[in-house]
Amino acid sequence: MSHKLSEVRIKNFRSCIDADLKLSGYTPLIGYNNAGKSNALTAIQWLLRKTSLDTKDFFNPASSVEVEGIIDGISQDILDQMAENHRSSIVNYISDGKLRVRRVQTTPNAKVATINISVWNEAAQDWVPNPNGIDNALKSLLPEPIRIGAMENAAEDASKAKSTTTIGKLLSEFLEPVKTAHGTELAGHLSEVSRRISSDGDMRFGELAVIDQNVNQKIDDLFPGMSLKLHFDTPTFDELIKSGSIKVYENQNQGRDFSSYGHGAQRSIQMALIQHLAEVKRGAGANLSTTLLLIDEPELYLHPFAVEQIRQALLALSQNGYQVVLSTHSAQMVTSEQAKSSLLIRKCNQRGTYARTRLSDAIQMIVPDSTHQMEQLFSLSHSTQVLFSEQVILTEGKTELRLLPYIFERISGKTLGQEKLALVAQSGVRDTRKSLEILGAMDLPAKAIVDLDYAYTGAVSDGFLQTNDPDINASKLILQRLEQQGLITLHTNGLPKNGVVKAAKAFEIFANEPDAVIHIENLHNRLKAKCIWVWTKGAIEAHIGTTSKDELAWAQFKALVDTNGLQTTCPEPNTLTDLVQWLST
């Protein structure tokens, strides 16, 4: 994509009190119902399509609605392709390839003619209202967006394909090659029709002349000297497109109106047109303009496989002259590659609708120029959960991933999803601090669950605990005693390593020493205050009573709990209850 709308700021529009949106070529807007995703799409549409807003569009009717956008990537090559009058309207306002524009409506129901657009003058550090020719210049860069709403008006939209509707715009896109190839031929045919039915046609049908004559005899009695001729306008090619419609055929039967089908079929047909548009545009080469495609829930009513096909079609369009911004409730519309540029849309009483910091921006804030955290947090499976949650739970073990959802539901009576919690496996416990900081920068609350060894290693290197922490020092004395007894093997730093037993088992042995309990509890509580839960018995397996980390052990644990309950099955049931309560707060 040569240029795009890279940033939009929305003020006082519906639920958007003051919202900043950073946009990419393909930008999913992810949020719960009524968060304001559709309002954001409508505001973007209004920036590029001047209409008069009424009272319901103003969050506060006493203040103006303002939508500001930055068009980025306007190269000299693009300027050279523009018509001279369009280029001259904007060239003096472009800075570093960016053009900053703003549309303002001061009062509800204002006249459309008064709703102009301003451009930012970087040199003067001020807005320039309505420069001569600005609207047409903008249209050459960003034509009127194609908006595909949810299903409320889909049937009307498809069966009455006017120029302002989704189907009308898509038909116009499809038929442009037809117009190029056959415009002259069709114009000739239409001219022949006009000669036969227009009032001044030189080959008018005789029947029309007879009607004219009979009517004029009666008019002459009432208004001498006055006469009439029947006249029928012949449509142009563009007008034919505007009047186009869609008929649906099944098994070669007679075509039925689009509106006679259910929402699933209607949405499938809409999205099939989008897929075809992607194929038409793929490989079509560079284009002066970038068309915004604004879609509400493209996955609505579609089969999971169809959702993936639509996602790929939209991605293809985003690389061939279109910028795609969509609202979605489906993780299938967001792969790990798009997770970094997705916007988490939220709404609260104080801020109204707003976008949380993007993952890509949060990563650059915490670990600049690093791709590791992106790979760790947002593999396909991770993005499915994290982007649709209100709190993230980071964990390092497979057993937690498999059993914590089950344990959480058994204790709380709710699923992690119902509590809007995402359970995410870290690629390594050493990522804990950075992961928490990245999610914190996204304004996405997060907690981590770690094994006991983290309290003595990672927590120190991450700066959560001091190297000379008294509880760590006291713990090392106990560990030395256990080594002297031949039960474990220690590094030179005084911490367990693989030897007599594996390091993980050594921490479990240590946790069972009576004089170690107080020190472990102290470390546990201090780290819990920093949103990190430490398994005080070493690892989760010691708390639930399993001896291995495999599918058989997990299945046996669930079977025992289903039969006997958690209290009887688990050696440490109270710890699990405390964990669930901590995660829920």
pLDDT given at position 159: 46
pLDDT given at position 178: 80
CA trace torsion 545, 550, 552, 556 (10° rounding) = 20
pLDDT given at position 384: 64
Counting beta carbons within 10 angstroms of the beta carbon of residue 568, is it exposed (0 to 12), middle (13 to 18) or buried (19 or more)?
exposed
What is the rounded distance in angstroms from the CA atom of residue 23 to the CA atom of residue 26?
Answer: 8
Query: Tokens 């999205």, residue?
Result: 271
pLDDT given at position 304: 87
pLDDT given at position 380: 39
pLDDT given at position 381: 46
Query: Tokens 């897929």, residue?
Result: 275
pLDDT given at position 370: 61
The stretches in the chain having pLDDT less than 70 are 1, 151-169, 171, 241-242, 244-245, 252, 258-259, 278, 280-287, 369-384, 427-429
Q: Decide if domain 4-152+282-348 falls under CATH 3.40.50.300.
A: yes
pLDDT given at position 157: 52
Half-sphere exposure of 121 (CA within 13 A, CB side): 11
Q: What angle do CA 62, 66, 70 make, to 5 degrees?
A: 170
pLDDT given at position 166: 63
pLDDT given at position 282: 59
Are 229 and 212 spatial neighbours (Cβ–Cβ below 8 Å)?
A: yes
pLDDT given at position 294: 93
pLDDT given at position 376: 53
Retrieve residue 213's tokens: 């004559």
Domain ranges of the chain: 4-152+282-348, 166-258, 370-584
pLDDT given at position 269: 77
Q: What is the largest CA-CA distance in the chain?
A: 128
pLDDT given at position 409: 97
Q: pLDDT tens, 286-344?
A: 467 898 999 999 898 888 888 898 899 899 889 888 999 999 998 889 887 888 889 99
Distance (Å) of CA 520 to CA 263, 526, 570? 58, 10, 20
What is the rounded distance in angstroms from the CA atom of residue 472 to the CA atom of residue 495?
Answer: 10
